[in-house]
Amino acid sequence: MLQMYLGQPETSPRLDNVHRFMAGVYLSTGLISCWAAITIRQQGTLVYLLALGVLFAGIGRLVSISQVGLPEPAAVWLGYLIPELLLPFVIVAAHVATTRNASSVKQKARTL
């Protein structure tokens, strides 16, 4: 919400507009992610879509770095990039494992 309020300092109206728009996207995605985390046992496809969104964001950052270079300080931007590229795979693996475990427990309970 702070990004939406403050905008992009010392920039053109075009970049400020894009910055505030993306702040709204980030805010809404954060709220959706919190809701999905709270109701994770009822979620299926939504978890995979959120992971895909994080992966696409990381790919976008990677394309930017390949096209215009790595911003300074490099360690900070790599610190953003690496989790954005790895976390989606961790999320998917954890959700698949949890879903399989839950379904096998349900099947065992039915047979008893």
Domain co-membership, 99 together with 112? yes
pTM over 0.95: no
Q: Do 69 and 94 reside in the same domain of the chain?
A: yes
Q: If you average pLDDT over residues 25-43, what whole number do you get?
A: 90
pLDDT tens readout for residues 68-109: 999 999 999 999 999 999 999 999 999 998 888 766 666 666
Q: Are residues 104 and 50 in the same domain?
A: yes
Q: Is the dihedral of CA 71, 56, 80, 14 positive or negative?
A: positive
Does residue 31 surpass a pLDDT of 90? yes
Assess whether 58 and 23 both reside in one domain: no
In terms of C-beta density within 10 A (0-12 exposed, 13-18 middle, 19 or more buried), how is residue 78 classed? middle
What is the domain extent for residue 5? 1-38
In a shared domain, residues 6 and 53: no
- Does residue 43 carry a pLDDT above 90? no
